[in-house]
Structure 1
Amino acid sequence: MKGSWRLTVWFGVFGAALTFLFSISHNKIGTTLLRSVYAFLAFAALALIVRLVLGILLRPAPTPAVTSASEDRGQTLDMVTPDDDGLAELMKEQWADGKDKPIAGFQPLNPAKLVSLDQPKTEDMVQAVRRMTNE
């Protein structure tokens, strides 16, 4: 527990004074002084507990002693990726190949024509049913 005990005492004195000021108008002097002593003890104990908890939580991690090379393995992360010259060359070739080729003319899509259902042919209906059932 590092630090000074003065903080604990001053916090206790603050609690005792606060209790004394609020209690003096409603109680006799003996009762007020007794409650102030209890408040001093309670506030000092509270400050001591808070200091202990903060001292444990905020304690820096101990630095390890000299470690061997095998213990250091896996402790660091290398965020640099190697240069892939082969991949870069492949991308350049694809880029250059696309410029040399002439753009092909427009070829419209030729979808199958829709059949009206006003006069369905049995052969077309059979083909449609087969396509739907994946036969």
Structure 2
Amino acid sequence: MLGTWRWNVVFGIFGTVLTVAFSIGNNPIVVMLLRSMYAFIAFFVLAYGVRAILAYILQPPSLVGDSLEDNDGKGTQLDLKTPDESADLNALLKSQLQDGGSSPTTDSHNNAAVDFKPLSPPQLLSTKNTQPEELVKAIRHLTGE
């Protein structure tokens, strides 16, 4: 169940306070205390039912067909091991020392730089030498007139 018996006591005290508040002006003290005791007992027992219903509603749904035994070890460990590339790094450094700074990787970068051709977009037309009638036609066309 959700919570402890202390919630039942709090709920019972809440019922007692409500009973006293609504009956203090209409009943004698003895009747009021007797009815507040009955209200405490009723609210105390009622709290068990409320807690049971809340526990049932708030429990996480169980998936049908899933077995917890199969998934016990899955997803609990993460391996962050990187591959050992020290031999490749040493070979690269040796080749740079022997070739005087040029390596196969820098040669491939140089070849790629030779093959590179920057984007050359078409030139935009200038409106300096156009006739005023053509400009008016273009503006009317663009504005939809």
TM-score with structure 2 length normalisation? 0.41
Structure-1-length-normalised TM-score: 0.44
